[in-house]
Amino acid sequence: MSHSVTETEKLDNTTLGFWLYLMTDIMIFASLFATYLVLVNATAGGPSASDIYSADFALLQTVILLTSSFTCGVSALLLRRGKKTASMWLLLATVVLGAAFLALEVFEFSTLVSEGHTWQTSAFLSAFFTLVGTHGLHISVGLIWAITLLVYMYRTRIGSDMVRKMMLFALFWHFLDIIWIFIFTIVYLMGVAS
């Protein structure tokens, strides 16, 4: 393949493009964080932040997601070194950990709803469900992406294209962990402390 756009150039452009997409995503989360912070006390007689959060639960989620971020990073690292099988195992671990994280979040949401604290209860809960839920939605997209990537890796021989696809996924997954640090801190820890 002697494309005028060389493979490295393509990798460069795609990485920067995807990076900029992540920047736009940061601004989406910025808007949601701003909304949450403005509405956090607007409980309208419903439960307040300290009533519904558990720091232990949030820490468990944090550790799981952080670990998945680590396995994902190492997976990408190994693929760059040509170790496809090991890389796939670690990516699988990432998927399992991510799914566990998501399951915990679904559990948390369903518990809240079953207690009658839905997103219709108050502006505060609307903001909470939307902010945390948007992160969860990103995690779900990431999981689907990782699974298609696994299928692709299983079927195809290793090449620069595969490394590029893996690198983009790793960027996305690390990015989600960084967003989570702030959800952990601003929503959960500060909520418990308030």
Contacts of another protein in 99-118 (CB under 8 A)? none
As measured in angstroms, the least distance from the Cβ of 129 to another protein is 8
Smallest gap from residue 60 Cβ to another protein (A)? 10
Binding of another protein by 193 (CB under 8 A): yes
Instruction: Return the amino acid letter for 99.
Output: A
Q: Are 98 and 68 in contact (CB under 8 A)?
A: yes
Interacting positions 155-184 with another protein (CB under 8 A): 171, 174-175, 177-178, 181-182, 184
Nearest residue to 57 via CA among 172, 191, 178, 175:
191
- Ramachandran bin of 8, using left for φ above 0, alpha for ψ from -120 to 50, beta for the remaining angles: alpha
Alpha-carbon gap, residue 9 to 13, rounded angstroms:
6
Q: Which of residues 11-40 bind another protein (CB under 8 A)?
A: 12-13, 15-17, 19-21, 23-28, 30-35, 37-39
Q: Cα angle at 122 between 117 and 123, to 5 degrees?
A: 130
Give the residue with the Cβ less far from another protein, 108 or 177.
177
The reply on whether position 8 binds another protein by CB under 8 A is no
Which residues have C-beta within 8 Å of that of residue 55, sequence separation ≥ 6?
188, 189, 192
Site map (CB under 8 A) of another protein, residues 119-158, x = contact:
xxxxxx-xx-xx-----------------x---x------
Q: Candidates 10-18, 95-103, 104-112: pick the segment binding another protein (CB under 8 A).
A: 10-18
Sign of the C-alpha dihedral computed for residues 55, 61, 63 and 69 taken in this order: negative
Provide the residue type at 11 as one letter: L
Report the nearest approach of another protein to the CB of residue 89 (Å). Answer: 15
Task: Determine, following the binding rule CB under 8 A, whether residue 82 of this chain makes contact with another protein.
Answer: no
